[in-house]
Amino acid sequence: MKQPGFFDVEERLARLSGLGDQLEAFSRTVDFEVFRPDLELALAYSDGSKGGRPPFDPVLMFKILVIQTLNNLSDERTEYLINDRLSFMRFLGLGLSDRVPDAKTVWLF
């Protein structure tokens, strides 16, 4: 087994792109930011003055619902696969060290 390198993740993502990552193509085709005003209006998040953990980005959560629908996933399986799959992380704009919504957060959304 070789020692991990600085560019291993980028090389793996490039390989996924070369193999035809459907989520990457979907992300290039659909501008998810168009949905932001409607999502923010519908969710009506508080201003944070009462404290607590800040909510996840509404567009991120919407994209999670897209992944669930395309793959027919439960909330628990969605949480696992977001943590497991680089293609899911890339589609959602998450890095390896970013916080991932848990199954209960997905369910509540």
Task: Write the pLDDT tens digit of every residue in 23-57.
Answer: 888 888 999 999 999 999 898 776 667 777 788 99
pLDDT for the residue numbered 36:
94
**Separation of CA 99 from chain center:** 10
Mean pLDDT for the stretch of residues 90-108: 93
Look up the pTM and report it.
0.82
15 — pLDDT class (breaks 50, 70, 90): confident
pLDDT at 4: 59
Residue 46: per-residue pLDDT: 65
Helices 58-71 + 36-43 axis angle, to 10? 100
Q: Bigger pLDDT: 56 or 16?
A: 56
At 34 the pLDDT is 95
Residue 64 has pLDDT above 90, yes or no: yes
CA distances 36 to 10, 20, 32, 72, 98, Å, are 28, 28, 7, 24, 21
